[in-house]
Amino acid sequence: PLPVVAIVGRPNVGKSTLVNRIIGRREAVVEDTPGVTRDRVSYDANWAGRGFTLVDTGGWDPDAVGFAALVAAQAEIAISLADAVLFVVDATVGITDSDEAVVRVLRKSGKPVVLAANKVDDQRVEAEAMNLWSLGIGEPFPISAMHGRGTGDMLDAVLAAL
């Protein structure tokens, strides 16, 4: 079986956009309204000649009471099934309670993690991305899932983590 890479992060950070970027097709549903991933969640992916299975997560209600805990619970399921985790944060928003809740789950899991600082559409947002070092889980890879910026280096790191 192919190794499994789970994409986790709170709603609206760009997980489904990143899935589409990686697989090169618009199959994951991208929503402007947070929390609406209800489509198929597993995708065959390939980078530098290596195949892997990408698992997208989401589909919970951002207005729910205890939202950060819900995000963490969803992430926990995906992480437990994964060989490596691609943790996506919105660099333009910065670190939220939900992001920190996911980090706690990641630490507990001991799974290898690559940190993607998304929505770095141009050079001006790079500094924001570097703030994510403070999450304490390693190097943030500045990417733009929308435009493809930086995703090659990020995927190299994902493969190195497998």
Cβ 55 vs Cβ 8: under 8 Å: no
Query: For residues 91-120, which are near ligand GDP according to CB under 6 A?
Result: 118-119
Task: Determine, following the binding rule CB under 5 A, whether residue 58 of this chain makes contact with Mg ion.
Answer: yes
Task: Determine, following the binding rule CB under 5 A, whether residue 16 of this chain makes contact with Mg ion.
Answer: yes
Task: Determine, following the binding rule CB under 6 A, whether residue 31 of this chain makes contact with ligand GDP.
Answer: yes
Task: Determine, following the binding rule CB under 6 A, whether residue 71 of this chain makes contact with ligand GDP.
Answer: no
- The residue from 23, 93, 146, 159 that contacts ligand GDP (CB under 6 A) is 146
- Could you identify the residue written with the tokens 């963490």? 72
Task: Determine, following the binding rule CB under 6 A, whether residue 126 of this chain makes contact with ligand GDP.
Answer: no
Q: Which residues of 6-21 are buried (b: 16+ CB within 10 A; e: fewer)?
A: bbbbbbbbbbbbbbbb
Q: How far apart are CA 129 and CA 90, in angstroms?
A: 8
Smallest gap from residue 86 Cβ to Mg ion (A) = 13
Is residue 156 classed as helix, strand or coil in its secondary structure?
A: helix
Task: Determine, following the binding rule CB under 6 A, whether residue 14 of this chain makes contact with ligand GDP.
Answer: yes
CB nearer Mg ion, residue 15 or residue 149? 15
Give, as one character, the DSSP assignment of residue 149: T
Class of residue 22 by CB neighbours under 10 A (exposed 0-12, middle 13-18, buried 19+) = buried
* Interacting residues with ligand GDP (CB under 6 A): 9, 11-17, 30-32, 34, 37, 58, 118-119, 121, 144-146
